[in-house]
Every structure is written in structure tokens, then in C-alpha cells.
Amino acid sequence: MDRARQLSADSVASGDPTSWFERLYAEGEAGAAVVPWVQGVPNESLIEWAAGRPGAGRRALVVGCGTGEDAEFLAGLGYAVTGFDIAPTGIAAARRRHPGSAVDYQVADLTALPAPWSGAFDLVVEIYTVQPLYGAVRAKALAALHEPVAPGGTLLVISWATQEDDPVRDPAQMPWPLTRAELDIARGPLRERSVEHFMGNSPPLPRWRAEFGRD
């Protein structure tokens, strides 16, 4: 985590708050750093949420998919999955780790999504990808999450949680948990279906699991 924090702080200081993702993935591929969120398994809170919810050919979008574990999990449930990440090296790793996958892996930026994705997905999943963002780009990314959700579709947000209204965020200490107000930014015009606040296991920290829908 130390190297990721250093790269994040340097990127924020340089005025380019997202460029460090690609650099971290590249260093990870070279064995010079660890990408701390690459666990090799799907997120446990996603697995719990998805129980009894088969994909049945519906379209799913995984935000900041990294090396693809969550995307592959949803594809295994029958979803037609698109996974995207801002880091080309991360997407290359996902394609290499999952040869022959049915997932459509793409390089894209959450704050400037391809126009054809607007309102196109029955399920949009965001897990821990906004937490490392700092400042204005964080708010812009949160506000973009509802855009790909189709009519009748679902936005699922899973993150570390804080109940502070206005927490102090040190640029050198990412990731920063989402506040309740930030979940509302992510919801946008969608309807709130459920917001769970619970203690996660690894690490043992408070979490949000929020489900929003477009009626």
C-alpha cells in the first residue's frame, strides 16, 4: 500500500489525479510494486448480494474491473459482462489471466464513458474504485456512476464506509471511505432500494453496500 499511496499523492500534486493507476499496474507487472486491491478472487460482498440473482443474459458493467475477478464472477452467473479500467496494463492483465473469457474488457475512464454505454446496462457494479480518488475527480466519478444504468436496472456500490459528514482526507493516505452523502451523489436520479452498513472481514472495517434502481 505504501507505493500506491506515494504514487497517488504524487499524481494529485501534479494535477493529474488518475495517472498513477497505470503506473502502479505497470510496476506491479514488473514485480516492483504490489497492486493492493488485486486479490485473485471476487469480492465477498458481491458474492453475497448476487446469491439467487442469475444473470440470464442481462448486461452488466464492472467499473474499474482491474484484473477481472468480479467481471468473471458475474459472467459465470450468466450476465453479458463488460469490464473497464482506466489502466491499459490492468486490462491487458485481465485478458491474459482469463483467456477465452466471454467478458468484453475495455480501457475507459469513468468520468468520460463511451456514449453507447449511456443507459445500456441492467447492472452496474462499482467496488472500491472511487475510494482512491481525491478531490474534484472523486465527485465527478461518483456522479457518473448512474449514467450507464438502463431503465429497470441496478447500480450496486460497495465501499469502505465512514459516518463522518466531512472527513479530513490526507492526500498521502488513500483510500478514503465513502460518506453517506457521497452515496447520494452516486445515486443521482436513481431510487434508493437499500443501503447496508456492516463490518467487513478483510480488513475488518465498516462497509457500505448500496443498491439503487432506475424505475
| Mean pLDDT taken over the chain | 95
Q: Residues 156-205: pLDDT tens digits?
A: 999 999 999 889 888 888 899 999 999 999 999 999 999 999 998 878 89
So what's the pLDDT on residue 37?
Answer: 87
Q: Is residue 86 part of a domain?
A: yes
CA distance 160 to 197: 9
Q: Is residue 54 part of a domain?
A: yes
CA distance 204 to 207: 9
Enclosing domain of residue 124? 42-213
Q: Is residue 168 part of a domain?
A: yes
Look up the CATH number of the domain holding residue 63.
3.40.50.150
Q: Is residue 28 part of a domain?
A: no
Q: Is residue 113 part of a domain?
A: yes
Q: Residues 109-137: pLDDT tens digits?
A: 999 999 999 999 999 999 999 999 999 99
H helices of the chain, in order, are: 2-13, 20-29, 44-50, 69-76, 88-97, 136-144, 180-187
So what's the pLDDT on residue 2?
Answer: 87
**Band of pLDDT at residue 1, cut at 50, 70 and 90:** confident
Q: Coil, helix or strand for 176?
A: coil
Q: Is residue 152 part of a domain?
A: yes
Task: Name the pTM for this structure.
Answer: 0.96
Say how many C-beta atoms besides its own lie within 10 A of residue 113's C-beta.
18
Q: Is residue 193 part of a domain?
A: yes
Q: Is residue 5 part of a domain?
A: no
So what's the pLDDT on residue 110?
Answer: 98
Q: Coil, helix or strand for 30?
A: coil
So what's the pLDDT on residue 203?
Answer: 82
Structural domains in the chain (count):
1
